[in-house]
Structure 1
Amino acid sequence: MPAASRGFDGGKKVNDRKRHIVADTRGLLLTVLVTAACVTDREAGGTLLERARQRHWRITPVRAGGGCAGSLVDLARDVLRIALNVVRRTDDTAGFMVLPKRRPVERTFAWLVRSRCLARDCGTRTDISEAVIRWSMTMVMSRRLARRAR
């Protein structure tokens, strides 16, 4: 992997990438962004929301995780005219827990990881990783359509 796609996440060196997506309420992929692990959710969120606004100009309410709080909410409201609602977990929760309003995104990630090429991302370029994610989602959607046609 090239140095541009390597980074640190939480002080720990990783050779992995982060996948950021925007999905609709049914879990269908709208926009994808793959970044180095050192890129924060807040930094990637600005680029991701700009892509979402360009491709889906009618999108207004968007829910995001707790890592997207702060200046990203102001950017979404003032520049992109998107209502960004940050879904936070409660302080008394220990370990991982899927938040009800983030379930469509988590479910989409689960569908995508079932694709073998995404289970172990060995690509060297982020744009190719994004294309593979779109291709995997195309397979998920075409299987759904084939089931309905029967």
Structure 2
Amino acid sequence: MSDAEWAVVRDVLPVPGWLEGRGGQLESYCHRQMFGAVRYLVAGGITWRAMPADFPAWDRVCAFFRRWRDKGLTAEFHDRLRERVRQASGRDTEPTAAVIDAQSVKAAASVPAATRGFGGGKKVNGPKRHIVVDTLGLLLAVMVTAASVTDREAGQTLLARLRERHWRITRVWADSGYTGRLVDLARDAWRIALTVVRRSDDTAVSPCCRRGGWWSAHSRG
């Protein structure tokens, strides 16, 4: 990371317990090195063992990431960055509207059976990722299932998680894969207006939505 990037990241990093005298494992590498290594791995799509020698040892980086993930620090860091981006765009830190969608991904035979399955609609054999984003396209909730799991089935779990973490959301846009009982369930159980937007509807869509997500370009949620 550049100095400017690190200055932004450093300001929103969660503080590990050992730095505040609350116990925990002392970290032997600086956070900038570790975050730079994890960022390189994610951006390059490499394995842990393929970590270049310029970074700390791959097993140390992997252990650092898993420790922060398991303690919820990675999610907290992500949420803080999202709040910064929303503030910079003139939005409230907490969204009031969102978009839900899913995408099946072809997978090799080595992918675990728990996240594989044949999706009849798209004719895809592999996992399916279910994602909820705000109206800026920033991630709010995500889950991975087999491709055979329908959007409506996964939507129940994902909307429940969404309501728990982002209580201000009252409207979620979706495509026709989320019609039926889920619309009533979202209204009655979570007080969310699940609005199904069909392709034939006359809805203004921003350029970024056309690249993989979509929602009303006029929403300010």
TM-score where L is the length of structure 1: 0.59
Contact 1:87 1:101 in 2 (8 A): no
CA shift for structure 1 position 33: 1.3
Contact 1:23 1:105 in 2 (8 A): no
Unaligned runs of 5+ in 1: 92-98, 110-150
Of structures 1 and 2, the larger Rg is shown by 2
TM-score where L is the length of structure 2: 0.41
Higher RCO (C-alpha under 8 Å, 6+ residues apart): 1
Match of 1:53 in 2: 163
| Displacement over 2 Å in runs of 4+ | 99-109
Structure-2 change in CA distance of 1:33 and 1:101 (3 Å): farther
Q: 2-side partners of 1:36 and 1:100: how far apart?
A: 32
Match of 1:10 in 2: 120
Unaligned runs of 5+ in 2: 1-110, 214-221
Match of 1:72 in 2: 182
Contact 1:20 1:32 in 2 (8 A): yes
More helix per residue: 1
CA shift for structure 1 position 2: 2.0
| AA in 2 matched with 1:86 | V
Q: 2-side partners of 1:56 and 1:75: how far apart?
A: 17
Number of residues of Structure 1 aligned to a counterpart in Structure 2: 101
Q: 2-side partners of 1:45 and 1:3: how far apart?
A: 21
| % identical equivalent positions | 63
Structure-2 change in CA distance of 1:107 and 1:55 (3 Å): farther
Supply the RMSD in Å over aligned alpha carbons: 2.5
CA shift for structure 1 position 35: 1.0
